[in-house]
Amino acid sequence: MAAFTSLCAFSAPAEGAADVEKIDRIPKVHGVFLGRYEGEWPDYRQRFQVRHARVSLEGKILEDLDYYFRMDLCDRGSMKFLDAWARWKFASEFAVQAGRFRVPFGVDAFRGPGGYIFANRSFMAKDMANVRQIGVQLGYYPESFPLTLEAGVFNSSAAADQEVWQKDLDYAAKASYRIGNVTLSASFLSMKPSGVRMNIVDGSVSWRVSRLLLEGEYQHLDYCGDSYKDVNAWLAFASYGIPVKWKPFNLWSFHGRFDAMTDHSTGAPGPDGYLVTDDAARRRVTVGTSLACNINKVRAEIILDYEKYFFDSGVIAPVGQNNKIVAELVLQF
């Protein structure tokens, strides 16, 4: 009996080690390239850009412990470090994630370059709360219920400066629920990037059926202490794809979007101590089309968009925010 017990004690770790060895620890590399041409009116200006050249590395250390690193080798000419996090899954439906990553807030802002429907992001995705930060997040992902809950706490100082001791932190929470082909999302973000705390609420609804996607999203931004007037931003878009057999392309898509934002401040006080308007109120209509070649996880796409901007009377459109055409080549693997 003693010999049998000893044999079991010896065999159990060996079997566990065998299970561990079944985990694929080979890192997986992915990339996204966006190269574009833009032309803007009325004083015709034009430019070429490498808008993104992102490379990511992901893998597993244990069955329930994975990691992810990502950087942009050329974001309009600059190299940028983006993400570095580790995530531990436990109790089958929960996960804790720590490091630098996009805070759980919004829907359109969460789309990465490989998932853009339009060449240019919406106003809310670009200006309202496009936030990557250092912190920790708890997520709930039930397998038997179409609900996702995420909440986290993050540094409020600039993500590039991690030596700063924090007196104030940022907080974010997001809930998503799917009913058939409809997905509902609600989220909240409280941040203090430049001395004034800003609270933003977001609501989104999307409907996907066959090759059609319809989506609408609204955000409301409040500055604490009435230091600046509230900001409202919204968008609505539609995208429809048609399978084709035009080698090498296999999908032809059409898309249209309306997005708008009222006067907006980033929360940084001016020389007199008051918040200034960094983005004047504007509205935009975007229409476009794309041809894509989708083969498993590899994609090549050509996007052509036209953007029409509208500003309030007396406002001079800043350079880069006038009527334009955008042609973009997207490569993803």
Least confident of 34-43, 123-132, 269-278, 289-298: 269-278
Report the number of distinct structural domains present in the chain. Answer: 1
Asked if 119 and 305 touch (Cβ cutoff 8 Å), the reply is yes
pLDDT-based confidence at residue 157 (cuts at 50, 70, 90): confident
Q: What's this model's pTM, rounded to 2 decimal places?
A: 0.89
Query: Is residue 275, in this structure, part of any structural domain at all?
Result: yes
> Using only C-alpha atoms, what is the Rg of the chain?
23
pLDDT-based confidence at residue 282 (cuts at 50, 70, 90): very high
Euclidean distance between CA atoms 257 and 295, whole angstroms:
27
CATH number at residue 185: 2.40.160.10
Range of the domain at 216: 26-332
User: DSSP letter string over 184-247?
Assistant: EEEEEEEE-SSSS-EEEEEEEEEEEETTEEEEEEEEEEEEGGG-S--EEEEEEEEEEEEEEEET
Euclidean distance between CA atoms 41 and 6, whole angstroms:
82
Euclidean distance between CA atoms 308 and 162, whole angstroms:
40
Instruction: Name the token pair of 153.
Output: 């706490």
The reported pLDDT for the residue numbered 123 is 96
Euclidean distance between CA atoms 299 and 331, whole angstroms:
6
3-class DSSP state for residue 43?
coil
3-state helix, strand, coil in the chain (%, to 5): 10, 60, 30
Average pLDDT of every residue of the chain: 92
Query: Is residue 13, in this structure, part of any structural domain at all?
Result: no
Query: Is residue 198, in this structure, part of any structural domain at all?
Result: yes
pLDDT of 50 above 60: yes
pLDDT digits (tens, 9 = 90+) for 12-37: 444 444 445 578 899 999 999 999 99
Query: Is residue 324, in this structure, part of any structural domain at all?
Result: yes
The reported pLDDT for the residue numbered 21 is 57
Query: Is residue 8, in this structure, part of any structural domain at all?
Result: no
- Return the number of other C-beta atoms located less than 10 Å from residue 320's C-beta: 11
